[in-house]
């Protein structure tokens, strides 16, 4: 549950100020993550949390409200005693994010908290708010002087995705943040980067002598990155109608995973050394011409379906809050090329979708066949022999497996594919119930930005995606819905790989 260079020392003392303290993210993820960090002795005794939201409450009622839900959000690891012992470190202040007076009140409250809790004036501002408030809150914090660092203390700001909705808005957001905070103070969170396997990809690639030599075009045939969700749009209709799968998932999680899979080895595990390499490889993705948007992207929207003759799944257009003629994509598949020596000629296929058959996220590295197939006879007679595949599972059952070919015991020479499987839960005693937020909040408190996105990284992603947004906007889809709920996505996505002689690993 740590980033690459965090030690097991406790984090720095600070007050964590959460804007949007009565919201969904705060109660489901942030406070449980703080609880888990406390349970693992990773927080110092001088730590406190101040919540701000427009709901009228005082600190006592806020503590009760959050406490009543904590057992269900933390799960098995919840200890009532630990909550009770620490609950007086939680404060609440009603306020409006747009109102400058709220920031003056916050400043006064923070001084009181510092006095009561012995916190030394370090403030971490967590913006768990709709994105339209990011610029306003940053600028009001600055107006109140709450952005100012001195040698004695630091000020940091965490913002949640989405980081813009296209290239122009992403640039505008970065510019607005930079008016009030310096880049080293800004932590853009993508909780996928806090997941064990995502971090383990770096450990696997750069911590083992056998991996890197064959991690290139000479040995790798192609790469598949899948983030499949079995749920539909749930209660996020108004956000999702505007966003769609390309903005919601590809712009963040999938390009982040791609950058770790494809980046060059950094010179060190310094945050900027890693983020330089991630940005460099994202810049090397071949830009999409309008023609390539037509040939190398697939968008889809789920239609209704009946699963196992019993479970009726609604079409996206029939979900609450969704327009009956919605053109929003709930599925995307892309075929990318990376113009570098390492990846010359290696296609990368990315896909993500809602209401897919299963919920899973994984990276599949498909290796080339052995150069001289002396077992061709065995291959012909037993068609199930496939190329070797390395699968990095991000969720569920985080782990790594290798599929390779072995001889079937017996007098006849038959070959069959076998699986060598490493499962995190089997191997390590530490249980991994973390959501990713634990790692990221801890790292931010420690000033370690390795797993957070830098401004240039965000803009490079949007530079790549902008032509797709433009072409899709000018050519609205005519075949939606084009995949049944509970399936593996539209047929066109299968064709995308079939054209190259491949198929998705489902
Ligand atoms: N929820 C998740 O699992 C999740 C996951 C990844 C990223 N995110 C991101 O995290 C952020 C927060 O998401 P969320 O789901 O927690 O949103 P949310 O439930 O709407 O929480 C936002 C909170 O801010 C309050 N608020 C809105 N305007 C305000 C104002 N002017 N002054 C004071 N309070 C105000 C809201 O009050 P009202 O309810 O009265 O509007 C609400 O309590 C978003 O950027 C989202 O994209 C969320």
Ligand 1 atom closest to Cα of 162? Answer: 47
Quick check: 197 and 398 in contact, CB under 8 A?
A: yes
Task: Specify the pLDDT at position 228.
Answer: 98
- Architecture of the domain spanning 194-368+431-436+455-498: 2-Layer Sandwich (3.30)
Residue at token pair 């007679």: 381
Provide the CA 420 distance to its chain's centre, in angstroms: 27
Beta strand ranges found along 259-388 (DSSP E): 297-300, 302-303, 305-307, 311-313, 331-336, 348-353, 360-367
* Ligand 1 centroid to residue 131 C-alpha, Å: 9
* Residue nearest to ligand 1 atom 2, measured at CA: 25
Provide the CA 152 distance to its chain's centre, in angstroms: 33
Q: Is the CB of 398 under 6 A from ligand 1?
A: no
Q: Is the CB of 23 under 6 A from ligand 1?
A: yes
Ligand 1 atom closest to Cα of 96? Answer: 32
Q: Is the CB of 94 under 6 A from ligand 1?
A: no
Q: Which residues are catalytic?
A: 253
Quick check: 458 and 174 in contact, CB under 8 A?
A: yes
10 Å Cβ neighbour count for 28?
A: 15
C-alpha–C-alpha distance, residues 49 and 33, integer Å:
12
Q: Is the CB of 129 under 6 A from ligand 1?
A: yes
* Ligand 1 centroid to residue 11 C-alpha, Å: 26
What are phi and psi for residue 112, nearest 5 degrees? -65, -45
Strand partners, 419: 403
Q: Is the CB of 51 under 6 A from ligand 1?
A: no
Quick check: 263 and 343 in contact, CB under 8 A?
A: no
**Residue spans per domain, the chain:** 14-160, 194-368+431-436+455-498
- Architecture of the domain spanning 14-160: 3-Layer(aba) Sandwich (3.40)
Predicted TM-score (pTM) of the model is 0.91
What are phi and psi for residue 246, nearest 5 degrees? -65, -50
Residues 6+ positions from 83 with CB-CB distance below 8 Å: 35, 67, 70
* Residue nearest to ligand 1 atom 19, measured at CA: 23
pLDDT tens, the chain, 506 aa long: 344 444 569 999 999 999 999 999 999 999 999 999 999 999 999 999 999 999 999 999 999 999 998 888 988 788 999 999 999 999 999 999 999 999 999 999 999 999 999 999 999 999 999 999 999 999 999 999 999 998 789 999 999 988 999 999 999 999 999 999 999 999 999 887 877 777 889 999 999 999 999 999 999 999 999 999 999 999 889 999 999 999 999 999 999 999 999 999 999 888 899 999 999 999 999 999 999 999 999 999 999 999 888 889 999 999 999 999 999 999 999 999 999 999 999 999 999 999 999 999 999 999 998 887 777 666 545 555 678 999 999 888 889 999 998 888 999 888 888 999 999 888 887 655 567 899 899 999 999 999 899 999 999 999 999 999 999 999 999 999 999 999 999 999 999 999 999 999 98
Provide the CA 413 distance to its chain's centre, in angstroms: 45
Q: In terms of Cα–Cα distance, which of 343, 205, 353 is closest to 283?
A: 343
Distances in Å between the Cα of 391 and the Cα atoms of 4, 222, 292, 404 are 21, 12, 28, 11
* Residue nearest to ligand 1 atom 5, measured at CA: 25
Q: What is the DSSP letter of 26?
A: I
Half-sphere exposure of 87 (CA within 13 A, CB side): 17
Q: Is the CB of 249 under 6 A from ligand 1?
A: no
């Amino acid at each position: 549950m740590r980033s690459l260079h965090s030690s097991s020392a406790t984090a720095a003392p600070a007050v964590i100020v959460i804007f949007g303290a009565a919201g969904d993210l705060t109660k489901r993820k942030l406070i449980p993550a703080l609880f888990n960090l406390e349970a693992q002795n990773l927080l110092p005794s001088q730590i406190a949390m101040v919540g701000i939201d427009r709901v009228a409450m005082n600190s006592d009622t806020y503590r009760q409200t959050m406490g009543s839900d904590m057992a269900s959000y933390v799960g098995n690891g919840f200890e009532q005693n630990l909550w009770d012992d620490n609950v007086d470190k939680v404060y609440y202040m009603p306020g409006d994010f747009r109102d400058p007076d709220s920031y003056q009140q916050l400043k006064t409250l923070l001084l009181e908290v510092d006095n009561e809790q012995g916190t030394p004036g370090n403030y971490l501002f967590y913006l768990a708010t709709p994105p339209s408030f990011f610029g306003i809150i940053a600028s009001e914090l600055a107006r109140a002087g709450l952005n100012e660092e001195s040698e004695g203390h630091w000020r940091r700001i965490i913002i949640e995705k989405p980081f813009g909705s296209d290239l122009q808005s992403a640039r505008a957001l970065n510019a607005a943040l930079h008016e009030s905070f310096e880049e080293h103070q800004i932590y853009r969170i993508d909780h996928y980067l806090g997941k064990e396997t995502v971090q383990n990809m770096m450990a696997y690639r750069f911590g083992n002598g056998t991996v890197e030599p064959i991690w290139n075009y000479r040995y790798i045939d192609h790469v598949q990155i899948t983030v499949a969700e079995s749920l539909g749009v749930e209660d996020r209709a108004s956000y999702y109608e505007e966003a769609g799968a390309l903005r919601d998932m590809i712009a963040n999680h999938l390009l982040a995973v791609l950058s770790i899979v494809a980046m060059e080895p950094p010179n060190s595990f310094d945050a900027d050394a890693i983020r330089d390499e991630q940005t460099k490889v994202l810049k090397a993705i071949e830009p999409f011409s309008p023609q390539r948007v037509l040939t190398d992207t697939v968008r889809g929207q789920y239609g209704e379906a009946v699963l196992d003759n019993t479970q009726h799944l609604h079409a996206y257009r029939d979900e609450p809050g969704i327009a009956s003629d919605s053109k929003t994509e709930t599925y995307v598949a892309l075929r990318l090329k990376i113009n570098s020596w390492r990846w010359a000629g290696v296609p990368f296929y990315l896909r993500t979708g809602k209401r897919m058959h299963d919920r899973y996220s994984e990276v599949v590295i498909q290796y080339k066949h052995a150069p001289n197939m002396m077992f061709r006879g065995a291959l012909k007679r037993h068609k199930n022999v496939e190329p070797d595949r390395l699968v990095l599972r991000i969720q569920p059952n985080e782990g790594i497996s290798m599929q390779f070919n072995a001889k079937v015991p017996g007098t006849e020479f038959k070959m069959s594919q076998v699986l060598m499987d490493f499962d995190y839960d089997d191997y390590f005693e530490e249980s991994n119930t973390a959501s990713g937020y634990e790692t990221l909040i801890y790292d931010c408190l420690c000033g370690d930005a390795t797993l957070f996105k830098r401004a240039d990284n965000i803009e490079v992603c949007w530079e790549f995606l902008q032509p797709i947004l433009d072409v899709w906007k000018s050519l609205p889809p005519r075949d939606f819905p084009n995949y049944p709920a509970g399936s593996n996505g539209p047929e066109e996505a299968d064709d995308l790989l079939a054209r190259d002689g491949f198929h998705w690993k489902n």
